[in-house]
Structure 1
Amino acid sequence: MNTVIAFIIMFGLLVFIHELGHLVLAKRTGMLAREFAIGFGPKIFSYRKHETLYTVRLLPIGGYVRVAGEDPEIIELKPGHHVGLEFNEQGSVNKIIVNNKSNHPDAKVVEVSKIDLDHALTLEANDLDTDDFHEYDVDRQALFVMDEKETLIAPYDRQFSSKSAFQKFLQVFAGPFMNFVLAVGLFIALGFAQGVPAEEAIIGDVEPDTPAANADFQPGDQVISVEDESISTWRDLVMYVQERPGETLDVTLERGDDIVTTSVAPEEVEEQGQTIGRLGVARHFEKAPGDVFVYGFTQTYDVTVLILEAVGQLVTGQLSLDALAGPVGIYSATDDVVQTGFFSYVMWTAMLSINLGIVNLLPLPALDGGRLVFIGLEAIRGKPLDPQKEGIVHFIGFALLMLLMIAVTWNDIERLFM
């Protein structure tokens, strides 16, 4: 049960932060954000605030922000349609009743002749009671009412397509960017909670009944050299010791103002089918605020490089698609991480956040990276591409991604039962 809760919290946080980036930049650039959704499929929770409907949906495979103009509008009026009109105090239409007009006895029922809700914000219609022809002004905040559900109209300047290529870029890029921001924040929080691993070979803790304890290693000691070979970083120490299991090594330590020399024989341990040396010491951690903030950025950078290298190996065929993990594989890995403690869980969340940011920036249709490619082409051409053709490309891309997700999930399930 702990793993289920941990997975839900982690997934919700990663998707929420990603979609929050899209939502905030949509609003900042004047776009109408119709829906902010966590998950896909049927709604299990919804809440409307101002212009935006906030929903949690059944399938935990992502999320989205639905911006006016990105997809065809759900409600489209054409000449000949009969609708009910309600008006504000200024005489402008503020509600257009699409159906169930009998539930709105005060609405004026008309037959639409011509309607422009993008630019002119006007509606020309015949009054069905008097057969008089009228041209009505439509309020910018007017609502469609269909099946008793209200939907804001979207004047052209509130639509995604009306914005400059740069504004579109910011809105799309903000999602992945926020995943990197989250990772930096989590690593910084880890730094303050448990400290930042020192770059130098400083002993943080000594396990009892280990070679290091028997050789009188003490917390705070800094390893200067081993067998007269200079040791400048913790990695140098680890690599040197691991390659010499069972050998007696002369170690020079700096202990305060003193220089101490001792001998130690690393114990032999099995790790991934190999015998390596182990002293029984832990790395020193520091909590200086400056180091902690730097750690947040450097860790994010290092993990980003590792993931990009893995992506490159996938592209070149050096890494098999079997190495990919879907929701089932991530859940299984999360179960292992949760057993090792809260700090490991936070680090795992930060790494997945970076992974989500990178994957979304890949130039593939239906992903943010694919959308950024189209925005780049728009900037080069000086005009948008055909929305219908772009939509087809993204639809095909989404279908292929779903097939890949199914294949990866199937591999995850097979691995669980192997």
Structure 2
Amino acid sequence: MDLGLWMETLWASALIKVIPFLFVLTVIVFFHELGHFLIGRLCGIKVLAFSIGFGPELVGFTDRRGTRWKLSAVPLGGYVKFLGDENAASVPDRGALEGMSEDDRRHAFPAKSVGRRAATVAAGPIANFILAIVIFAGVAYFNGRVVGDPVVAEVRTGSPAAAAGFAPGDRVVAADGETIAYFSDLQRYVSTRPGTPIRVTVERAGRPVDLTVTPRQETQTDGFGNSYSVAVIGLVANNDGSSFRVEEMSALQSLDYGVSQTLFIMGRTVAFIGDLFAGRQGTEQIGGPIKIAQVSSQVATIGFAALLNLAALLSISIGMLNLLPVPMLDGGHLLFYALEAVRGRPLSERVQEIGFRIGLALVMLLMVFAFWNDLSGLV
């Protein structure tokens, strides 16, 4: 192959992978930092900088309130810098308050009440959850929702469903007393309960039949060759399309769907973390920027709506990650503020500094581990 053609092909391939990744990450980071920014300003805190990315500034401008809006060279995150909160580890610099004018002191982050500081910090993850709700609701409203009747077309041989006595033609009515309206409702219910017996009511020949099935954890592969672990029972819906349809949704129904979808994913994330520590999930499912870029490029081939749904999913993940009680993350700040509220005074700067150093080490270890998983997946 000609060297010029090879370089052109390589460059085109890189763009295909990078552009969807940058779009998804920029949207998520922007809304996360926008949450901090808006609530911070509402609480009377002066904002010095709003940056998408880290490192040297590429382009930017200063607004009439003195905030520098900028796009920086390393597009793997972002930050909002408040007056008086300028330490590299985000430790409030209370000593700097003494050298400020009276007006600046009133608008500095450390001078605000613990409630206002906590609200400003919590606003970032909350903005991520709101973004996910809006995306899920918007996609459902404009595109509708693909749904399928909960009718069994096939029972896989040797599956938990086969052992439980399911039969083709069964219509699933309820799971543990909860109504099942669509096949996806059953999939969602089963996926969160590996190893837990479920009482399923089916309609067979016009009569209700109660069956008990225990989901089994399996490793499956998606259409792009990515492996993932999920709880299944071995039921297959009708794949000829006759039982599937696009259901239009009103604005209110779409909003309700967006909220329920977001809450479901949050619950699954918490369950995954619990399963991870309990040894029921493998650490190979933890990915970093390379994995996100790979998945973003794959999902982008399906369509823009699918890429938006991925952005919503990642927005929830980043919001929940930031709420972990680890110094350096928003959750760590909130932990310190909770201790301050209980004690009636903040922890010493020395204690906070030690906490942030430990938090930085933990975050760096997680990043290294995620990169290692990414590289192992490529190999």
TM-score for both structures, normalised by structure 1: 0.64
Is 2:343 the partner of 1:395? Answer: no
Q: Which residues of 2 match residues 9-28 of structure 1 at below 5 A?
A: 9-28=23-42
Change in CA separation of 1:341 and 1:385 when aligned onto 2, cut-off 3 Å: same
Is 2:361 the partner of 1:412? Answer: no
Asked if 1 retains the 8 angstrom alpha-carbon contact of 2:136 and 2:309, the reply is yes
Is 2:77 the partner of 1:62? Answer: yes
Asked if 2 retains the 8 angstrom alpha-carbon contact of 1:201 and 1:283, the reply is no
Tell me which residue corresponds to 1:44: 58
Q: Deviations over 1:294-325 (max 9, x none)?
A: 11111111111111111122233333332210
Tell me which residue corresponds to 2:121: 172
Q: Gaps (5+ residues) in structure 2?
A: 1-14, 154-166, 174-179, 188-203, 207-219, 223-233
SS in structure 2 at match of 1:304: helix
Is 2:154 the partner of 1:192? Answer: no
**Which one has a larger percent helix, Structure 1 or Structure 2?**
2
Asked if 1 retains the 8 angstrom alpha-carbon contact of 2:150 and 2:172, the reply is no
Asked if 2 retains the 8 angstrom alpha-carbon contact of 1:70 and 1:161, the reply is yes
SS in structure 1 at match of 2:332: helix
SS in structure 1 at match of 2:252: helix
Shift of 1:13: 0.5
Shift of 1:196: 3.3
Q: Gaps (5+ residues) in structure 1?
A: 77-114, 122-139, 141-154, 203-210, 212-224, 240-249, 253-270
In 1: Cα distance, 2:245 partner to 2:378 partner:
34
Asked if 2 retains the 8 angstrom alpha-carbon contact of 1:17 and 1:175, the reply is yes
The structure that has the greater radius of gyration is 1
Asked if 1 retains the 8 angstrom alpha-carbon contact of 2:148 and 2:245, the reply is no
Name the aligned partner's letter for residue 291 of structure 2.
G
Name the aligned partner's letter for residue 233 of structure 1.
A
Is 2:183 the partner of 1:235? Answer: yes
Tell me which residue corresponds to 2:230: none
Asked if 1 retains the 8 angstrom alpha-carbon contact of 2:183 and 2:237, the reply is no
Asked if 1 retains the 8 angstrom alpha-carbon contact of 2:323 and 2:331, the reply is yes
In 2: Cα distance, 1:199 partner to 1:53 partner:
50
Change in CA separation of 1:251 and 1:347 when aligned onto 2, cut-off 3 Å: farther
Name the aligned partner's letter for residue 121 of structure 2.
V
Q: Deviations over 1:156-212 (max 9, x none)?
A: 22111111111011000000000000000001111112113558659xxxxxxxx9x
SS in structure 1 at match of 2:301: helix
Name the aligned partner's letter for residue 374 of structure 1.
F
Measured on the aligned residues, the alpha-carbon RMSD in Å equals 3.2
Q: Deviations over 1:7-49 (max 9, x none)?
A: 1111111000000010111111111111111112222222211
SS in structure 1 at match of 2:57: strand
Runs of 4+ in 1 over 3 A off after TM superposition: 115-119, 196-202, 225-232, 236-239, 271-279
Q: Deviations over 1:241-273 (max 9, x none)?
A: xxxxxxxxx989xxxxxxxxxxxxxxxxxx769
Q: Percent identity?
A: 30
Shift of 1:116: 5.5
In 2: Cα distance, 1:369 partner to 1:236 partner:
33
Asked if 2 retains the 8 angstrom alpha-carbon contact of 1:234 and 1:283, the reply is no
Deviates most, 319-328 or 357-366: 319-328
SS in structure 2 at match of 1:340: coil
Name the aligned partner's letter for residue 67 of structure 1.
F
Name the aligned partner's letter for residue 54 of structure 1.
W
Asked if 2 retains the 8 angstrom alpha-carbon contact of 1:196 and 1:295, the reply is no
Asked if 2 retains the 8 angstrom alpha-carbon contact of 1:33 and 1:52, the reply is yes
Name the aligned partner's letter for residue 31 of structure 2.
I
8, 14, 18: which is aligned to 1:4? 18
Tell me which residue corresponds to 1:222: none
Q: Which residues of 2 match residues 17-416 of structure 1 at below 5 A?
A: 17-49=31-63, 50-72=65-87, 117-118=99-100, 121=102, 140=103, 155-197=104-146, 201=150, 227=169, 231=173, 233-235=181-183, 278-281=238-241, 282-416=244-378
In 1: Cα distance, 2:371 partner to 2:171 partner:
49
SS in structure 1 at match of 2:266: helix
Change in CA separation of 1:72 and 1:235 when aligned onto 2, cut-off 3 Å: closer
- Number of residues of Structure 1 aligned to a counterpart in Structure 2: 297
Asked if 2 retains the 8 angstrom alpha-carbon contact of 1:196 and 1:292, the reply is no
In 2: Cα distance, 1:416 partner to 1:353 partner:
24
Change in CA separation of 1:182 and 1:237 when aligned onto 2, cut-off 3 Å: closer
In 2: Cα distance, 1:350 partner to 1:276 partner:
27
In 2: Cα distance, 1:200 partner to 1:228 partner:
11
Specify which structure has the bigger relative contact order, considering alpha-carbon pairs within 8 angstroms and separated by 6 or more residues: 2
